[in-house]
Chain A
Amino acid sequence: MSTTSFGEPAIATLENQVDATPQQPRRKVKRGTWQTVIWFVVLIAVTAVVLYPLVWLLFSTFKPNSEFGSNMGLLPNNPTIDNYAKVMEGIAGVPMWRFFLNSLIIAAGSVIGVLLSSSLAAYAFARIQFKGLGILFAAMIGTLLLPFHVVIIPQYIIFQRLDMIDTFIPLLLPKFLATEAFFVFLLVQFIRQMPRDMDEAARIDGAGHVRIFWSIILPLIKPALITCSIFAFIWAWNDFLGPLLYLTSPENYPLPIALRLYNDQTSVSDYGATVTASFIALIPVLLFFLVFQRFLVDGVATQGLKG
Chain B
Amino acid sequence: MSTTATRVIVTGEKPSRRSLFRRSRPEHVNRPGQRQRVVKETLAGYGFLIPWLVGFFGLTLIPMAYSLYLSFTKYNIFTPPQWIGFDNYIRMFTSDPAFVQSAQITLIYVLVGTPITLAAALGVAMLLNYRDKGAGFFRSAFYAPSLIGGSVSVAIVWRAMFANDGPVDNSLSAIGIDLGGWIGNPALVLPAMILLAIWQFGATMVIFLAGLKQIPKELYEAAEMDGAGPWHRFRAVTLPMLSPVIFFNLLLGLIGAFQVFSSAYIISNGTGGPAGMTNFITLYLYKRGFSDGQMGYAAAIAWVLLIVVAVIAFILFRTQRSWVHYAGDNR
Contacts and interface: CB of A to CB of B under 8 A. Distances in A.
B51 A124 contact: no
Given A153-B295, A240-B152, A293-B143, A24 B209 contact: no
Given A24-B218, A148-B259, A177-B55, A153 B309 contact: no
A72 B170 contact: yes
Interface stretch (B89-97, B185-193, B231-239, B298-306): B298-306
B70 A307 contact: no
A154 B306 contact: no
Interface of B: 2-3, 6-7, 9-12, 21-23, 26, 38, 41-56, 58-64, 66-67, 70, 77, 124, 127-128, 130-131, 134, 136, 138-154, 156-158, 160-161, 163, 165-167, 170, 199-200, 202-204, 206-207, 209-210, 213-214, 216-218, 248, 251-252, 255-256, 258-259, 261-262, 265-266, 269, 282, 285-286, 289-290, 295, 298-299, 302-303, 305-306, 309-310, 313
A50 interface: yes
Nearest to B12: A21
Contact of B282 (A149, A208, A259): A149
Nearest to A155: B63
Contacts of A158: 58-59, 63
A164 interface: no
Leading 3 A-B pairs by shortest Cβ distance: A177-B55, A307-B146, A130-B45
A150 interface: yes
Which label, helix, strand, loop or mixed, suits the secondary structure of the A interface? helix
Nearest to A303: B10
Nearest to B48: A124
Contact of B143 (A132, A147, A297): A297
Contacts of A179: 55-56, 59-60
A27 B219 CA distance: 13
Contacts of A69: 165
Interface residues of A, number: 118
B167 A72 contact: yes
Contacts of A121: 48-49, 51-52
A56 B127 contact: no
B64 A150 contact: yes
Contact of B131 (A23, A36, A72): A36
A207 interface: no
A234 interface: yes
B266 A260 contact: yes
Interface string A25-60: 011000100001001101100110011111011001
B318 to A, nearest CB: 15
Contact of A50 (B163, B170, B199): B199
Contacts, number: 322
Contacts of B142: 46-47, 50
Contacts of B200: 307
B153 A279 contact: yes
B145 A300 contact: no
Given A47-B141, A149-B302, A289 B147 contact: yes
Interface of A: 17-18, 20-21, 23-24, 26-27, 31, 36, 39-40, 42-43, 46-47, 50-54, 56-57, 60, 69, 72-74, 116-117, 120-121, 123-125, 128-158, 160, 173-174, 176-179, 184-186, 189, 192-193, 208-209, 213, 234, 238, 240-241, 244-245, 255-257, 259-260, 263-264, 266, 271, 274-275, 278-279, 281-282, 285-286, 289, 293-294, 296-297, 300-307
Residue from the set B38, B55, B63, B145 with the largest chain A CB neighbour count within 10 Å: B55
Contact of B60 (A20, A72, A151): A151
Nearest to B2: A141
B138 A47 contact: yes
B217 A129 contact: no
B84 to A, nearest CB: 16
B51 A301 contact: no
Contacts of A278: 152-153, 156-157
Contact of A120 (B51, B166, B167, B259): B51
Nearest to B166: A72
Contact of A213 (B38, B48, B58, B158): B48
Nearest to B216: A24
9 contacts: A50-B145, A72-B167, A124-B46, A145-B2, A147-B258, A240-B150, A244-B265, A256-B262, A271-B160
Residue from the set B60, B170, B207, B256 with the largest chain A CB neighbour count within 10 Å: B60
Given A46-B138, A174-B59, A240-B151, 13 more contacts: A18-B213, A46-B142, A47-B141, A60-B160, A74-B167, A136-B49, A145-B313, A147-B302, A147-B309, A154-B63, A213-B48, A256-B153, A294-B136
A307 B149 contact: yes
B42 A150 contact: no
A300 B63 contact: no
B289 A153 contact: yes
Contacts of B124: 46
Contacts of A20: 11-12
A244 B136 CA distance: 37
Contacts of A213: 48
A74 B160 CA distance: 12
A20 B13 CA distance: 9
Nearest to A285: B148
A283 to B, nearest CB: 10
